[in-house]
Amino acid sequence: MTSTDVTAAAELTIFTHGEITPTRRFRTPMWMRAALYWGYQYKRTWRSSIVTSFLIPVLYLTSMGVALGSLIDKHSHGVGGVTYVAFLAPGLLAGTCMQIGTNDTMWPVMGAIKWMRTYFAQLAGPLSIYDVLLGHLAWVAARLSIVVTIYLIVMAGFGIVYSPWAILALPAGVLTGMAFGAPMAAFAATQDKDASFSTIYRFVVVPLFLFSGTFFPISQLPKFLQYLAYVSPLYHGVALCRNLTLGQVSLWVDLGHAAYLLAWVAVGYLIGRRTFAKRMVV
Amino acid sequence: MVEAHQLEKRFGDFVAVDKVDFTIAKGESFGFLGPNGAGKTSTMRMISCISPISGGTLTVLGQDPVKQGSSIRARMGVVPQEDSLDLDLTVLDNLMIYGRYFDMPRKLIRQRADQLLEFAQLTERANDRVDPLSGGMKRRLTIARALISDPDLLILDEPTTGLDPQARHLLWDRLYRLKQEGVTLVITTHYMDEAEQLCDRLVVMDKGRFAAEGSPRELIEEHSTKEVLELRFQPGQHEGIALELSDLAERHEVLPDRILFYTDDGDAALAEVHAKGYQPQSSLVRRSTLEDVFLRLTGRTLVD
């Protein structure tokens, strides 16, 4: 076949005027199609991302958990009856989820509006603005679950998973991340510059990471800071993950933690629907 | 394919599109022409069911954009003014993911992607990242992407703005072939040559309204003369000479660097200039173009 034949053949089939209209047995939900995009993006970086997700807990748990922890354990016999590393690990897990939840919704959301205009490409097809938002959040949740799974495997390697309940730390970690991710996506869609993001990081994310019971029980804090910690979704995420991996579950308390996190996700999503529509459907 | 009646778009107090009526037929190539800020893009965004209408009625592909926006968009290809390609992904992946938005089976997307890359002359770049591609290549990829779902209606918002002449001609050639294939095209542009090449019918927009409507030929006949005589004299003499020669044509216009005489016989007018003893530095007789119509309708101070 000569090259002109190829072109001619191509011309004939590019436009069928509806004849090739794709039919599938099962229609992929709209939001899932948007989530797939982020999956394509992830294809480029998944190797380094997996390595990082593995290395971070190993490094933290070795240095802070084991090395620093042995000092703590020697002087005060662990924390609340368990070794420091067993106490710390679920806290770090929740804290990592918070960081991923915020990071993956700050710049990526604004970038998809301003820089790469990804959302607009999605909106040109059959997807609605709500599918675009939901798809992005679904992707963040998917990525969180990968990270949490790796984290739990590392924890098991350190021998600090004490209970089958720990399996529920997977959804608990995802929920913690999304309690930050959903509101942050809603906020990021209102921003024109990324200056506010580093401010949020410095004045919200880092303090929460340090003072939400991640590294020490909040009973060590002055009373008023304790009340402040109760408001922080991270406090509830840490407590929930910790109860699950240590096997110290008390049903109503932990359901309460989960419900509080879920409320942040729901409110964030509902506000996000408004800010996304306001920004892009004009 | 598209029917608009008293269509309106407002942003607060600002009226971007001011009660316009138009119909676009199947297989037609329809153009919106106008200066920046005339309301072209707002109109396009409403037709693309991305931007809600503020007033009037709009039917696209026989459906209501408010209630059936998603199913309308599923049958439409959109080439936005600003590229929305994913710069980190490869050329092929950009097509693959876009096809997934339309829920096309992977195999089918792959098959069409090969054909469309051929069509867009990007086959060799299929596995390259998009970022380093030239503006013309990105534009062609955007068009290929819009065609992946075999749309019934293709919408192009300023498809060749910012491209060099070679890239523009290649793009026109591709779009012309789409037209031959019977694809319904809706195009906005502020390039007259583009509109003349591609549009069967067009409207000239100005300040949210339609200043004129028709085929390129009709518009020229209606709003300009057959020919234009351009004369260039010493700078500063133009105003005076134009006044003395105003009988020469039905209409003339003084520009900073030349005088335009709108006449049906440019050569005769030029002969008359010479007969009257004027010696222009340079002279040119040319056919009227859409540009003359456009500038007349959308402003440049005119002396009738």
Q: How far apart are the C-alpha atoms of A181 and A144, rounded to whole Å?
A: 10
Q: Is B295 within a domain?
A: no
Closest partner residue to B97 (CB to CB) among A6, A30, A37 is: A37
Its pTM stands at: 0.89
Q: Which residue of B has its CA nearest to A44?
A: B89
**Total domains present in chain B:** 2
Q: Is A23 within a domain?
A: no
Q: What is the pLDDT of residue B239?
A: 79
A-B contacts at Cβ under 8 angstroms: 118
Q: What is the pLDDT of residue A25?
A: 67
Q: Is A17 within a domain?
A: no
Three-state SS string over B275-286 comes to HCCCCCCEEEEE
Q: How far apart are the first and last CA of chain A?
A: 50
Q: What is the pLDDT of residue B160?
A: 87
Q: Are B262 and B180 within one domain?
A: no
**Does A132 touch chain B if contact means CB atoms closer than 8 Å?**
no
Q: Do B101 and A125 touch (CB under 8 A)?
A: yes
Q: Is B294 within a domain?
A: no
Q: Is B65 within a domain?
A: yes
Q: How far apart are the C-alpha atoms of A139 and A143, rounded to whole Å?
A: 6
Q: Are B135 and B277 within one domain?
A: no
For residue B276, what are the domain limits?
Answer: 225-287
- In this structure, the dihedral spanned by the alpha carbons of residues A37, A41, A43 and A49, taken in order and rounded to 10 degrees, is -130
> Looking at CA atoms only, how far is residue A104 from chain B in angstroms?
17
Measured over all CA atoms, what is the biggest interatomic distance in chain A, rounded to whole angstroms? Answer: 83
Q: Are B104 and B252 within one domain?
A: no
> Looking at CA atoms only, how far is residue B179 from chain A in angstroms?
11
Q: Is A45 within a domain?
A: yes
User: Which residues of chain B does A15 touch, with a Cβ-Cβ cutoff of 8 Å?
Assistant: 147, 150, 178, 181-183
Q: How far apart are the C-alpha atoms of B118 and A193, rounded to whole Å?
A: 39
User: Which residues of chain A does B114 touch, with a Cβ-Cβ cutoff of 8 Å?
Assistant: 10
Q: Are B130 and B278 within one domain?
A: no
**Total domains present in chain A:** 1
Q: How far apart are the first and last CA of chain B?
A: 40
Q: What is the pLDDT of residue A15?
A: 64
ipTM: 0.87
Q: Are B168 and B281 within one domain?
A: no
Q: Are B215 and B170 within one domain?
A: yes
Q: Which residues of chain B have a pLDDT value below 70?
A: 300-304
Q: What is the pLDDT of residue A168?
A: 97
Q: Which two tokens stand for residue B246?
A: 């105003």
CA gyration radius, chain B: 23
User: Which residues of chain A does B101 touch, with a Cβ-Cβ cutoff of 8 Å?
Assistant: 33-34, 37, 121-122, 125-127
Mean pLDDT by 10 residues, chain A (282 residues): 42 55 74 94 89 91 91 87 94 96 96 94 95 98 97 95 96 98 98 94 94 94 92 97 96 97 98 97 90
Q: Are B240 and B101 within one domain?
A: no
DSSP A158: T
B87 and A116 Cβ atoms separated by less than 8 Å: yes
Q: Are B216 and B232 within one domain?
A: no
